[in-house]
Amino acid sequence: MLDAEDTHDQSLYDSLSTLDKVKKQLEKLGICDPGQPAADTPTVPVDIDSVPDHEIGNLHSQLLEFHNYATYQLALAKGREAEAENRLKYLKASIKGAMKRGEARDEELEAKPIFVVALREKQEAEQESLLIEAFKGILSKRMAVVSREVERRKLDWEKHRRTSNIRRARTLSTEDAQDRWKLGKE
């Protein structure tokens, strides 16, 4: 029986890693990695209503920047996951093809060191995707809290503006009535 390391073409195995090539093609189109934001991941203060308006805007921008970064990183992680899955399928097929019929049991295949390494790479890629998805979910919830606060402040401002307009209209109406009353007396 052939050794597992001798059962596959290394160049073909390596050619299954296409993510870097795709990234370079996208960069030519102007679609680039946004890069990790300079600051630490922002948190939402418990007393968000005491945060000044300009800081709320900055907080929302920082969260959006991290969300965009996490979205891109998740896409890369999904790409690595697909590569790992393809390498695993390739190894499985090449090892089973090298083994005689009847000998290609999954237990034997999964015991091959090269297969275990590929399986571990797939597991790491899947775990990376899960963790980035969780991080992205956390960011989405933080953005929702900040967005709600922005909307609440906007509604408060609009309410204040309407109230001011009503007071102004009442004042003008009262002054107008007083002026008419004065004119009527003359």
Successive 10-residue mean pLDDT values, the chain, 186 residues:
52 79 90 88 91 92 94 95 91 77 67 87 96 96 94 89 73 65 63
- Count of beta carbons in the 10 Å neighbourhood of residue 154: 10
* Pair 138, 74: CB distance under 8 Å: no
Q: What is the pLDDT of residue 3?
A: 47
pLDDT at 133: 97
Distance CA 63, CA 44 (A): 9
pLDDT of 1 reads 32
pLDDT of residue 4: 44
pLDDT at 138: 96
Q: What is the pLDDT of residue 183?
A: 65
**How is the chain split into domains, by residue range?**
51-160
3-class SS string, the chain = CCCHHHCCCHHHHHHCCCHHHHHHHHHHCCCCCCCCCCCCCCCCCCCHHHCCHHHHHHHHHHHHHHHHHHHHHHHHHHHHHHHHHHHHHHHHHHHHHHCCCCCCCHHHHHHCHHHHHHHHHHHHHHHHHHHHHHHHHHHHHHHHHHHHHHHHHHHHHHHHHHHHHHHHHHHHHHHHHHHHHHHHHC
Residue position matching structure tokens 């929702």? 144
